[in-house]
Structure 1
């Protein structure tokens, strides 16, 4: 598999290009690194390629907050400027003037 450079980085706010959710990137896998069960649960006709970056998101939709794992091909930048309400974002990250988030020094995260 050919590994590509990730388009998004830690703290970027993104949204799904099809489904109505958005989130903050908190980790990036250079290629698929989830379970076979997760992969097999995606319908074959919409299953993304494994040889692209996959993103761990503190995600939210209109009803709830959760953690999502999304392929790069299914993400676009979220330029809404709206703050992310996910409680883990508020606890662990802080927004900067550019609309992205960074780890809080006092959150105990070492990067």
Structure 2
């Protein structure tokens, strides 16, 4: 959890602002995932509870950048037919490199709230 939180801070993912009554600050929670590596390490992700938001009020569009399975199969077929090698890599904190064009307010995570500004979002 500490590694994930520090990565969020390094990427300047958020800036704390005073909470106000007109903001609908989403909650957040930690999600844990057991990796398939040989060491079976556990990955911690801090996610916003976006399911409390309302379409047309808190957001207007959603997008999830995923690859279609036919695209992966096509690329693998080309690689095999050409006799090429294939490599895999992991981009740590990949989703932290994107930008939001809208303002998003989220409550501070439990146990990691700023002690000098505990009510900020």
| TM-score, normalised relative to structure 2 | 0.22
* Structure label with greater radius of gyration: 2
Structure having the larger proportion of residues in helix:
2
| TM-score, normalised relative to structure 1 | 0.23
Greater relative CO, 1 or 2 (CA 8 Å, sep 6+)? 2
Structure having the larger proportion of residues in strand:
1
